[in-house]
Amino acid sequence: MVAGVGRTTYGRDERSIPEIVYEAVSCALADARMTRDDLDYIVTASIDLFDGKVASSVLITEVIGAVMKEEARVSDDGAAAFFQAAAMILSGRKKNVLVVAHAKNTESNYDALTEWSCDPLFMQPLGVNDPVAAALQADLWLGSGGQTEWMDRVAAVRGNVSMEEVRISRFLAEPLRERHRAPVCDGACAVVLTSNVERRPSNVVVTGLGLCVESHYLGDRDLIGCPALKSAGDRAFHLAGWKQSELDLAEISAPFAHQEILWTRALGLPSADARRSTIDGVSLNPSGGWFAGNPYVVAGLERICCAAEAVRAGRASKALAHGCWGPAGQGHAVVLLEGRN
Amino acid sequence: MRRVAIVATGQTDHAKARDDASQPELIYEAVSRALADGGLSPGDIDAVVLANMELFEGRMLPDLWCGEAATAFLKPCIKIATGGTSGTSAVIAGFYQVASGLFDTALVVGWEKHSEGHTQTGMSMTDPLWDRNVAGGALNNFAISISQYMRTRGATREAAARVAVKARHNAALNPHAHLKMPDLTFEQAMESRVLAEPVRLLDMCPQSDGACAVVFASEGKAEKISSRPAWVHAAATRHDKPYLGDHGDRLSTMRTLRSAAQEVYSKLEIREPLKEFDVAEIYEPVTYAELAWYEALGFCKEGEAGRLIEEGVTHLTGELPVNPSGGVLSTNPVGASGVIRAAEAALQIHGKGGRRQVPDCRRALVTGYGVYSWSDVMVLGADRPN
């Protein structure tokens, strides 16, 4: 059960990492009407290479309330940290778990650093990084029926710019242009999970969970079919006992425009057309998704926050939230949320 | 609540440099041994948790590159990175994944290939505003806290040298250990080269290349895989403040280890750990730390740690063998070291300790240490927990 959420405003932030995390955590605790004393466990998400710091969650132990308490740091997307936190609550041994994700993308060269996530023997020497991997994926998609116009439209609608601005933006890695990717920025996000499903005022229950990782080598992967996402989605829907058609809302993490189209299809959602924000009753990324400006590592947890807020406010009764990480989305996590009264 | 046990373990032959294997190949070596140990195949593993401090090798998201070597193809796979406690944190995370009911089995693999990076550069990347000016890596931190510890508790160089000898003699009985030194003498340990006063070469752990894997299974499944599953009885973690200057008298106080141990002892009604455990695999990056951990874990009173090692209480033939594996002092691939503690404790309960087997081992204590005094404590037992 999601008890509370909190976040910083995403953008370029001059504050330090502990300061931005403090803001997100204080908001989440206040939203949950809890204090650090109520927390049994804290799961954080951050990556040393981005933070420029060894064991970088040490920077934030005070502001997340982890001093003399239990904490573990997951070095993948925040949605993976959420998954671990949910598992701890499901074990029956923890009652209130705080999940926190942070990153300051403006303080590092994201593109260069993602080269170091690729196999150093076969992929890295080719200059593969996140944008390059995404571009190879987009190229395959265009060659198998995808249309440039569709991804231009996603980029325009989500990024709040004109189609023309998308089309004239510089090439990032052909066929992807600068405007086809979400802007990099700084920020932190926090979610409080509780085992107490009777807790009010929040009524957001986690009913489905799935996490799955594909093969690493691009040549071994089905970059269009996205089997890891499909598997994570199937697992989540199976646990929840839902069908895709029951969803009202989907918050999907797509750092590159074509991926929103690929991911919605892999999840078995009604095929998305970004011109309309609601397709067959499913509202897709009303928050703007990643294009509204989310940092890597935080984005998946932010999707969960957005979905939870929508359910709590009554804008949706069954919602899907998604996070991804790695080149061309090698790892995926899917969370299903339901409003209960 | 669902009961969970470690049913199989596997580790590489740890060494200063494993030039014969890439990082995925090291993982594969440990994982295939763990699967063989349990009579399992890759399809029997439902979820994977990895532990690695990728900054040391200059990588990012190495779980994506190396995951397949740990059977993580189209499976859930995440990585934990919490400094020296990465291994024990990951072991605890894997335990929770199976305890949740989401999975019946989970594989936890920790690894590090220090020979492929520059670890102490990584270790010096501390807080840029305050700590980085005085950062001198692990050695520096220990030199400072050991000086304080010797002054407040009367710990001696001699006691530390005895710990150094015990560790490397034990390692000689462990086919996987890195620093096997069966002929090491007390004099050699006393006179080894000073690294940073008062820490000498043989007081310090090595940097090793290696990997270690453990398999968790839920009750119902565990008994089918192992004839003596090592059940998880309790686990606790404590983290501490961000700045070096806040950790005065770290080794003497060690409030995180004390508090985590207290929680676990309280839960299990353990009052005399020296008597109530059959073996302890504790995370001792330096000889003086082992002495400090004896006191923090309640094996003896403050200031008595030297007596414990002098009287052979913690030797392989003593009342409570501590680190029959040779410990971190003999083998230290950082991401793996915490997993090795859990694996070595589990295999003692499994009865697979070979020449380092402690007879009739039914209850084991496991600890992890890292970063600025972070601590993990876990208890494994041959008896099914209540």
CB B137 within 8 A of CB B143: no
Q: Which of residues 318-337 of A touch B (CB under 8 A)?
A: 325-327, 330-331
Which of B80, B97, B238 faces A70 most closely, judged by CB atoms?
B238
Q: Which of residues 18-77 of A touch B (CB under 8 A)?
A: 18, 47-50, 52-55, 57-62, 66-76
Chain A interface, mutation test: which of B49, B61, B257, most A Cβ atoms within 10 Å? B61
Is A260's pLDDT higher than 60? yes
Q: Do A54 and B89 touch (CB under 8 A)?
A: no
Residue type at A252? Answer: I
Q: How far is CA B133 from the centre of its chain?
A: 29
pLDDT in the model for residue A340? 86
Q: Which of residues 160-199 of A touch B (CB under 8 A)?
A: none
B340 vs B32: CA distance, rounded Å: 16
Q: Do B96 and A84 touch (CB under 8 A)?
A: yes
Q: Do B61 and A47 touch (CB under 8 A)?
A: yes
B63 vs B50: CA distance, rounded Å: 7
For residue B227, how many other CB atoms are within 10 A of its CB? 9
Tens digits of residue pLDDT in A207-248: 999 999 999 999 999 999 999 999 999 999 999 999 999 999
Instruction: Determine the average pLDDT of the residues in B321-345.
Output: 98
B84 vs A101: CA distance, rounded Å: 21
Nearest chain A Cα distance for residue B220, angstroms: 16
Within 13 Å of residue B329, how many CA atoms lie on the same side as its CB? Answer: 35
Instruction: Determine the average pLDDT of the residues in A288-311.
Output: 94
CB A298 within 8 A of CB B32: no
Instruction: Determine the average pLDDT of the residues in B220-236.
Output: 98
Q: Is the dihedral of CA B196, B202, B205, B210 positive or negative?
A: positive
Nearest CA in chain A to B130: A59
Note the helical H segments in chain B. 23-38, 62-66, 86-99, 119-123, 137-153, 157-171, 186-191, 222-225, 250-253, 255-268, 273-276, 287-296, 305-310, 327-330, 334-350
Beta partners for residue B77, in sequence order? B48
Is B153's pLDDT higher than 80? yes
For residues A144-180, one letter each, b for 16 or more C-beta atoms within 10 angstroms of the residue's C-beta and e for the rest, the string is eebeeebbbbbbbbbbeeeeebbeebeebbebbbebb
Tens digits of residue pLDDT in A136-166: 999 999 999 999 999 999 999 999 999 999 9
Indicate the pLDDT class of residue B81, thresholds 50, 70 and 90. Answer: very high
Whole-Å CA distances, A92 to A89, A96, A238, A253, B94:
6, 11, 21, 30, 15
Residue type at A266? Answer: A
pLDDT in the model for residue A273? 53
Q: Do B61 and A76 touch (CB under 8 A)?
A: yes
Q: Do B76 and A73 touch (CB under 8 A)?
A: no
Q: Do A49 and B255 touch (CB under 8 A)?
A: no
Nearest CA in chain B to A229: B74
B318 vs B309: CA distance, rounded Å: 10
Nearest chain A Cα distance for residue B334, angstroms: 12
A120 interfacial to chain B (CB closer than 8 Å): yes
Q: Do B371 and A58 touch (CB under 8 A)?
A: yes
Q: Do B242 and A58 touch (CB under 8 A)?
A: yes
Q: Whole-number mean pLDDT of chain A?
A: 93
The string of DSSP codes covering B290-305 is HHHHHHHTTSS-TT-H
Q: How far is CA A134 from the centre of its chain?
A: 16
How much is the pTM?
A: 0.97
pLDDT in the model for residue B140? 84
**H or E segment and range at residue A74:** strand A71-74
Is B220's pLDDT higher than 60? yes
Q: Do B64 and A327 touch (CB under 8 A)?
A: yes
Chain B interface, mutation test: which of A21, A62, A70, most B Cβ atoms within 10 Å? A70
Instruction: Determine the average pLDDT of the residues in B121-150.
Output: 87
Nearest chain A Cα distance for residue B1, angstroms: 7
Nearest CA in chain B to A328: B64
pLDDT in the model for residue A272? 54
Residues of chain A contacting residue B255, judged by C-beta atoms under 8 Å apart: 68
pLDDT in the model for residue B99? 98
Residue type at B106? Answer: A
Which of A62, A239, A327 faces B241 most closely, judged by CB atoms?
A62
Tens digits of residue pLDDT in B10-19: 999 999 999 9
pLDDT in the model for residue A201? 65
**A&B contacts, CB < 8 Å:** 177
Is A199's pLDDT higher than 80? no
ipTM exceeds 0.90: yes
Q: Do B239 and A66 touch (CB under 8 A)?
A: yes
pLDDT in the model for residue A267? 95
